[in-house]
Structure 1
Amino acid sequence: MAPPVTVRFQLLFLRAIGFLIGLIGQAARAFGSHKFDSKTTGPVTEPLLLLSGVQLAKMIRQRKVKCIDVVQAYINRIKDVNLMINGIVKYRFEAARKEALAVDQRLAERQEDETVLEKKWPLLGVPLTVKEAFQLQGMPNSSGLVNRREAISNTDATVVALLKKAGAIPLGITNCSELCMWYESSNKVYGRSNNPYNLQHIVGGSSGGEGCTLAAACSVIGVGSDIGGSIRMPAFFNGIFGHMPSPGVVPNKGQFPKAGEAQERFLCTGPMCRYAEDLIPMLKVMAGPGIRKLRLDAKVHLKHLKFYWMEHDGGSLLMSKVEQDLIQAQKKVVIHLETILGASVQQVKLKQMKYSFQLWIKMMSAKGLDGKEPVKFVDLLGDHGKPINPLWELIKWCFGVSVYTIPSIGLALFEEKLRYNNEKYKKFKKIEESLHKELVEMLHDDGVFLYPSHPTVAPKHHVPLTRPFNFAYTGVFNVLGLPVTQCPLGLNTKGLPLGIQVVAGPYNDHLTLAVAQYLEKSFGGWVCPGKI
């Protein structure tokens, strides 16, 4: 049956937007500079950089390695490769060295039991990086907005404070997309971040600087946030692990921009890392009191889990087709689970997944409890200053004098057209409720759903402008409020990371995290760039 005329018109309009932005993107790509074209970062030669956060903390507690040596090893690596990837945009090396020396001095002076030390400081001495959108005392907090270039944090975001209290040592802050609303991390404050597996390709967004920093072994654990895939897309494009927790578990306080009242419950702060065994310790620390909502210590018998999988979203006209490399990687996982693990695996077709983008727009159009409209993106761009004129900014951009990026200008131009009126909101609210019910009833407390992390592997710079809606492969799960772990699955023949999303029912994060550890053991997890 053909879709109604109004639906066809909406699809044609959205595709037209994508086409127009794509033309601009082609112009941006034509004039863009690629100083490091066709290069990867060099391989890791320092053994300390190849240990998980859990392993490093244990060795430091046992006094088998000095904390200062660990921190210095990471500083050396950053100096070697960060110029190429532009992941870390502000260092705090001197402060990190002092904090590492303080750890070593304390361990030398006090012969505390290792168990006691682990309970007090589970991440003792572990190098950490933080997305620039989060407050880190003494560090910039602009979210890539030129108007906020001078904004310096005088305190820590809640999750940053919790990680520091647990012993982690921040090395610096990492790049993001302008105002965290695009899936390529580039802005007019810090410039563009590059993928360590091929510098011509994107790192994802908005936590893209974090993703490439971790992938390039310039950090071991990191902090990201996710309202449409901003943890999972960078984790996928950079071949690392990223977890979007169940909503309301990890505090979001202390990041800019602040989500609107209605959108706050869809924004999730979560861990990003190279090694799956770091996910649970990080999440336990980052959640604070919210950890009581989860069962992270519950024993998971993977063989008894029910696995469900879906190759693509069902054929939305707005999004790219899923590449064969990713379909084949997914099928390898399915075959492995069936033949090696002996688990029950079932292919499903959730027909309403094809409305993923529309459901995400419905979420972003939601009003607060007081009936107020969500904050306009164009107003965020002004940051309490003089209102901006998107059309004028587009003209200025064409002459190279706008202080805003083209994705932000494009969103500001079209956001009123993209927002749903009350009638459309109600329509897609019903679809969302139906899809949520279908997934939750399917998964119960003993099932996980395997789904592509994105339709393509990491595209080249500016290409997302021609495919602006592909983020809906991750964004749909923000709408549905389900926990998701992005897991790396090695590299394709061109040396770019493959991966998959593992989804569970509400507050069943322990299931996706257990599957992540299993997939790491079975498929190798993170692959060091430069060893392709």
Structure 2
Amino acid sequence: MALTRFERFVVWVLRGAGGMLFAVFQLLAPRRGSERSARRLPPITNPLLRVPAMQLARMIRRREVTSVEVVQAYIDRIQEINPLINAMVKDRFPSALQEAAQVDKLIEEETGGEDVLEDRLPLLGVPFTVKEAFTLQGMPNSTGLVTRRGVISATDAPPVALLKRAGAIPLGVTNCSELCMWLESHNHLYGITNNPYDLERIPGGSSGGEGSILGGAGSVIGVGSDVGGSIRIPAFFNGVFGHKPTSGVVSNVGQFPPATGQQPGFLCTGPMCRYAQDLVPMLRVMGGHQTDRLSLLSEVDLKSLRFFSVAHDGGSLLVSPVDRQLVLAQRRVVERLEADLGVEVQQLKLPQLKYSFQIWSAMMGAPGKDGKQPTSFAELMADHGTKVWPLWEMAKWTVGLSKHTMAAIGLALVEMFQRSHPTEFIIQQKESLQRDLEELLGTDGVLLYPSHPQLAPKHHHPLFTPFNFSYTGVFNILGLPVTQCPLGLSTEGLPLGLQLVVGKQQDRLSLATAVYLEKAFGGWREPGTTTIEAT
């Protein structure tokens, strides 16, 4: 199928004109938090930073370590690395230490024993971080929009509240892309966030601050959201785990901007963490009783599962080819599964994946059941204020006067030419892919698929490859749960990884496979050993 006029226009704007804009951007982009003089992140010196969250909780309950010691260890690490990565944009360190002291007092006074505490407060005393797009009481909730600079949250988003109710202690909020709709966590309020494995590269978006702080060992667990890959892409680029749950399991309330049109069915809130064993406990807490239908505590026999591997999307003209190192990494996973489990991994091609971007874009812009169109991106940029004119904002941006990033302006500009209803062809491709995958995966299937076609790109380079998120975005539209797993490092010292896609409500299958892959391939790797060229 040839590209539509709209798609050709988008390619021209974001690739052809991108060269000129990128050159200007290099001159105008704020450099806050981007200290390029450092060659590497400082190494981890406190062993507490290498302990999974659930193990930390157990150590705290058993009085092997205090919550104050754990929280202080993470505060020290954040203060050490945040000037380099600019991931945390607002902290609550004094309050976190006070809450940790209260936890230690509670444990001293507890007479019911460790089991009672574990059942009632499974994350007692464990620190965590939160994407700034979520409300966290007393913290900003701007989502990188300059006009929301003064917005302070009065309440907690439900998933955040549930984590706090389970005993976890929030350390602060982390950076995201402007209005959560871009691959790079950059905005004119907080600046640009760097990848801990290479400060010249992006941590992904929109949960890029979470990915960066986790990858740099400044946090052990965190809260992210995902409408097109915003959990999985940062998890991939920063070498950590991330899970997009079955749609509707974890509440999306308490986020800005709110989803409209059909988008509430595509947006998912989920856990991000450095250690695979923390995924299930986090999801159980964040989803509450909604996770009962997932049977997360049921034992999974990996040898009884059916595994499939799809190497690429079939060659979309809009998307980059899959990097050879990622192809080889996925092949190594196939070989390891077959050798260790005695299964046969079936190699597949799904031709509908070639239209992943078109499917995602069309459905994201489609009206809801009430017939109302989703809120336009230009309206979100205005946030009930002065109307934003994309062409005028682009002109202002070239002379450094716009409050918006080039990515946000470009998206608003492209939106002006987008169809309000998906074409019949794209609807057919979406429905066909949905049927094929649901039939293929059933209740015992796991699909291996690249998380992204490239390793973490350098800053601003996604302006040239804006459709590469399609590798993750298509699964939001299909409503399928997906787990991103790290697979070691590339020859450049950048994280490798892949997605594990399973049937609806079969989250436990991908989560169990993630635990296996962590043992097989080492999981998260410390980034401090990777040399970074100074400029």
Aligned to 1:108: 108
Aligned to 1:510: 508
Aligned to 2:181: 181
Are 1:13 and 2:9 an aligned pair? yes
The answer to whether the 8 A contact 2:24-2:398 is kept is: no
Tell me the alpha carbon deviations over residues 363-411 of structure 1, each in whole angstroms, 9 at most, x when there is no partner.
Answer: 1111122211110100000000110111111111111111100000111
Tell me the alpha carbon deviations over residues 127-168 of structure 1, each in whole angstroms, 9 at most, x when there is no partner.
Answer: 100000000000000000001000000000000000000000
Displacement after TM superposition at 1:13 (Å): 2.8
Displacement after TM superposition at 1:38 (Å): 6.8
Partner amino acid, structure 1, of 2:473: G
- Aligned in 2, Cα 1:133/1:415: closer, same or farther, shift over 3 Å? same
TM-score (norm 2): 0.96
Greater CA drift, 321-330 or 7-16: 7-16
Aligned to 1:154: 154
Partner amino acid, structure 2, of 1:29: Q
The answer to whether the 8 A contact 2:35-2:83 is kept is: no
Displacement after TM superposition at 1:9 (Å): 4.0
Equivalenced residue count is 526
CA–CA separation in structure 1 for the residues paired with 2:312 and 2:495? 18
Tell me the alpha carbon deviations over residues 328-358 of structure 1, each in whole angstroms, 9 at most, x when there is no partner.
Answer: 1000001111122211201000000000000
Pairing partner for 1:460 from 458, 461, 473: 458
The answer to whether the 8 A contact 2:261-2:373 is kept is: no
Aligned to 2:170: 170
Map 1:124-139 → 2, pairs under 5 A: 124-139=124-139
Displacement after TM superposition at 1:300 (Å): 0.8
TM-score (norm 1): 0.97
CA–CA separation in structure 2 for the residues paired with 1:26 and 1:242? 34
% identical aligned pairs = 56
The answer to whether the 8 A contact 2:261-2:365 is kept is: no
Displacement after TM superposition at 1:431 (Å): 1.2
CA–CA separation in structure 2 for the residues paired with 1:306 and 1:117? 38
Tell me the alpha carbon deviations over residues 257-313 of structure 1, each in whole angstroms, 9 at most, x when there is no partner.
Answer: 000041101100000000000000000000012112211011111111111011110
Map 1:219-230 → 2, pairs under 5 A: 219-230=219-230
CA–CA separation in structure 2 for the residues paired with 1:11 and 1:265? 25
The answer to whether the 8 A contact 1:14-1:318 is kept is: no
Map 1:38-437 → 2, pairs under 5 A: 39-418=39-418, 420-422=419-421, 424-437=422-435
- Aligned in 2, Cα 1:409/1:11: closer, same or farther, shift over 3 Å? closer
SS of the equivalent of 2:527 reads coil
State the Cα RMSD in Å: 1.3
Tell me the alpha carbon deviations over residues 65-92 of structure 1, each in whole angstroms, 9 at most, x when there is no partner.
Answer: 1110000011111111111001100010
The answer to whether the 8 A contact 1:53-1:278 is kept is: yes
Displacement after TM superposition at 1:21 (Å): 5.1
- Aligned in 2, Cα 1:8/1:278: closer, same or farther, shift over 3 Å? same
Displacement after TM superposition at 1:37 (Å): 5.5
SS of the equivalent of 1:129 reads strand
Pairing partner for 1:488 from 465, 482, 486: 486
Partner amino acid, structure 2, of 1:55: Q
The answer to whether the 8 A contact 2:382-2:388 is kept is: yes
Partner amino acid, structure 2, of 1:284: R
Aligned to 2:24: 27
SS of the equivalent of 1:530 reads helix
CA–CA separation in structure 2 for the residues paired with 1:53 and 1:138? 24
Displacement after TM superposition at 1:41 (Å): 1.2
SS of the equivalent of 1:222 reads strand
Displacement after TM superposition at 1:26 (Å): 4.0
Map 1:472-483 → 2, pairs under 5 A: 472-483=470-481
Displacement after TM superposition at 1:31 (Å): 5.3
CA–CA separation in structure 2 for the residues paired with 1:12 and 1:410? 15
- Aligned in 2, Cα 1:324/1:38: closer, same or farther, shift over 3 Å? farther
Partner amino acid, structure 2, of 1:110: E
- Which ranges of structure 2 fall in alignment gaps of 5 or more residues? 531-535
SS of the equivalent of 1:74 reads helix
The answer to whether the 8 A contact 1:38-1:198 is kept is: no
Displacement after TM superposition at 1:8 (Å): 5.2
Aligned to 1:450: 448
CA–CA separation in structure 1 for the residues paired with 2:38 and 2:104? 41
Partner amino acid, structure 2, of 1:345: V
CA–CA separation in structure 2 for the residues paired with 1:367 and 1:439? 25
CA–CA separation in structure 2 for the residues paired with 1:129 and 1:317? 38
- Aligned in 2, Cα 1:21/1:383: closer, same or farther, shift over 3 Å? farther
CA–CA separation in structure 2 for the residues paired with 1:363 and 1:165? 36
CA–CA separation in structure 2 for the residues paired with 1:452 and 1:335? 16
Aligned to 1:524: 522
SS of the equivalent of 1:448 reads strand
Tell me the alpha carbon deviations over residues 185-225 of structure 1, each in whole angstroms, 9 at most, x when there is no partner.
Answer: 00011000000001000000000000000111111100000
